[in-house]
Structure 1
Amino acid sequence: MTDRHVRTVLPVQAILGEGPVWIGRDAALWFVDIKSRHVHRFDPASGAARRWDAPDQVGWVLPAADGGMIAGLKSGLHRFDPANGSFTFRAQPPGHPACNRLNDATTDRAGRIWFGTMDDGESAASGRLFRHAGGMIADSGLPPVCITNGPAIGGDTLYHTDTVGRTIWRAAIRDDGTLGPEEVFVRIEDGAGHPDGSVVDAEGCLWVALWGGWGVRRYDPAGALIGTVKLPAAQITKIAFGGPDLSTAYATSARKGLDAAALAEQPEAGNLFAFDAGVAGVAVTPVAV
């Protein structure tokens, strides 16, 4: 891709920035720093930013249809109230090991949450993909992996990522929320980094953040690589489309695991970046509650 005018828009220097989501009713981008246990809100029109402390590692926040917010903490799903900063426990994934935490999430057109769990020590294959609907959490039935990532929705298709295995899978979402057979969508080659968070744009193409890959890639619906955007940090975790026309891409990044030499090479690591996507995204469907 051509130069997309990549810039830092919020120098938060997150240890593990994740989960960016544009919430239209707020005209703001929300994201988290998992390891610092922070929820962030950024208003690009004014440049204003706010931060809330979470009681545990927080993987994501999503808007709810009733005007509230749902957060994925290490222990499970919580209601999050920005007005007073409170987190109220709602539900825990079935069979959730104490060593696991919630990692990444998205919603489908029916307002169901699709979210993954992972071994917090990043070694055991105990991560699973779950579906939340009607107040209940159900296992998706997909095989466990160490680090689940990038659940993304394109129409009635779910994309999900095995980060350690460098593989992005996809499966059809049936009307009842169950999944059809999964198939490999794309494998990331050695030396290009590991696939992290992902999102689908208005043209049905999948954007994939690359941990250790210094940027993001765009794949067409057939799985062909059609674009790359380089960023000034190695560990890019996820992007979201935002702004009035959803054509600005926001990317979270991380400083986790970087030594002094690496941080000297990439002083902007952990910041929130933005660039001109050249294509619009798709508005996030609020969680049905």
Structure 2
Amino acid sequence: MPAAPVPLSARPVHEARALVGESPLWDAREGLLWWTDIPRGELHGFDPATGRDALRAVFPGPLSAVALRASGGLLLALGDTLAGYRPERGGEPEPLARVRLPGPDQRLNDGRCDPEGRFWVGGMSTAGASGAAALHRLDGTSLTTELTGVSISNGLDWSPDGRLAYYADSPTREVAVYDRTGPALRRTGTLARVTDGVPDGLTVDAEGGVWVALFGGYAVHRYLPDGTLAAVVEVPAAKVTSCAFGGPALETLYLTTASRGLTGAELREQPLAGSLFACAPGVRGLPAHAFAG
């Protein structure tokens, strides 16, 4: 009989009322955890050494994903545009590529760099259209569409050896497993099927465990590569949007949450909705890959 999942709990480290907090990213160069509030176009930097969060930039459009850039600074997903940005310099982002989205109700959503330094980013319909989006890959300035028929492209990360990709198209309620050793992604199975909430952002730890944020589920789940539910992080906010390891030793799991769409009563019941949380899970994460372009 499989062991019961380890119960864990998250604590607030920065109390905020983000509409849709997203894309937590540890930057060892700066000693900061970057994260965004998508609809407000806000880029935040949280310093765990001081416990302070600073609003570093505001952009005129949705800021859905952030990645490190090997040449310095960050790569941003802004609406339909992928752009370089130097937070220490400010100014305007440097457009690198524009994604041709199928309609005006589409925008880019979650994204992450792979071990080869390529940035993967998917889209979604803000009107709720099903199967209208796609998953794209930016290699330098070359953009390739890797998957089509996507509804809400969310969590994506790689196994420690880089051979597998874990991916969540949220409305499917599944975390899919893909083989990435060939020229194209090839689906090989399903890691987990979610019943409480829907899978949103995810991250892989150094032992190969997959941590999945459950939007609407008040939790983050850790799955072993064989699909066993190994740990459950309870979060005092329903809409958990993403997770990432951070801190100097990558021993802290940071979680972003959302408050948009909650009723007045729900907001009173969830005063920390939209805040940034942290958990000590007992395992370490992996360093974030940087965009090589």
User: Could you say whether these structures have the same fold, taking a TM-score greater than 0.5 normalized by the shorter chain as the test?
Assistant: yes
Structure 2: which 5+ runs fail to align?
none
**Residue matched to 2:139:** 133
Q: Matches of 1:113 and 1:164 in 2, distance apart?
A: 23
1:50 pairs with 54, 64, 78, which one? 54
Letter in 1 for 2:178: A
Q: Matches of 1:149 and 1:109 in 2, distance apart?
A: 18
- Report the CA distance between 1:185 and its aligned residue: 2.2
RMSD: 1.5
Q: Percent identity?
A: 36
Q: Matches of 2:102 and 2:243 in 1, distance apart?
A: 27
1:197 pairs with 193, 198, 201, which one? 201
**Superimposed CA distance per residue, residues 179-222 of structure 1 (whole angstroms, 9 cap, x where no aligned partner):** 12342222112xx1111000000000100000110010000001
Q: Does 1:104 align with 2:110?
A: yes
Letter in 1 for 2:173: R
Query: In the TM superposition, what are the counterparts of 1:74-85 in structure 2 within 5 Å?
Result: 74-82=79-87, 83-85=89-91
Q: Matches of 1:133 and 1:63 in 2, distance apart?
A: 14
Q: Matches of 2:222 and 2:187 in 1, distance apart?
A: 24
Q: Matches of 1:224 and 1:73 in 2, distance apart?
A: 36
**Superimposed CA distance per residue, residues 61-107 of structure 1 (whole angstroms, 9 cap, x where no aligned partner):** 11100012110011220112212142222212245433211110111
Q: Matches of 1:66 and 1:251 in 2, distance apart?
A: 27
- Report the CA distance between 1:123 and its aligned residue: 2.8
- Name the SS of the counterpart of 1:262 in structure 2: helix
Structure 1: which 5+ runs fail to align?
none
2:180 pairs with 159, 170, 173, which one? 173
Query: In the TM superposition, what are the counterparts of 1:86-125 in structure 2 within 5 Å?
Result: 86-125=92-131
Contact 2:102 2:133 in 1 (8 A): no
- Report the CA distance between 1:3 and its aligned residue: 5.7
Letter in 1 for 2:261: G
- Name the SS of the counterpart of 1:284 in structure 2: coil
Letter in 2 for 1:264: R
- Name the SS of the counterpart of 1:237 in structure 2: strand
Q: Matches of 1:230 and 1:205 in 2, distance apart?
A: 17
**Residue matched to 1:147:** 152
Letter in 2 for 1:207: W
1:60 pairs with 59, 65, 70, which one? 65
Contact 2:80 2:100 in 1 (8 A): no
**Residue matched to 2:33:** 29
Runs ≥4 in structure 1, deviation > 6 angstroms? none
With normalisation by structure 2, the TM-score equals 0.93
State the aligned residue count.
285
**Residue matched to 1:283:** 287
Q: Matches of 2:10 and 2:221 in 1, distance apart?
A: 14
Q: Matches of 1:175 and 1:112 in 2, distance apart?
A: 15
Contact 1:163 1:194 in 2 (8 A): yes
Q: Is the alpha carbon distance of 1:50 and 1:96 closer, same or farther for their aligned partners in structure 2, counting shifts above 3 Å?
A: farther
- Name the SS of the counterpart of 1:61 in structure 2: strand
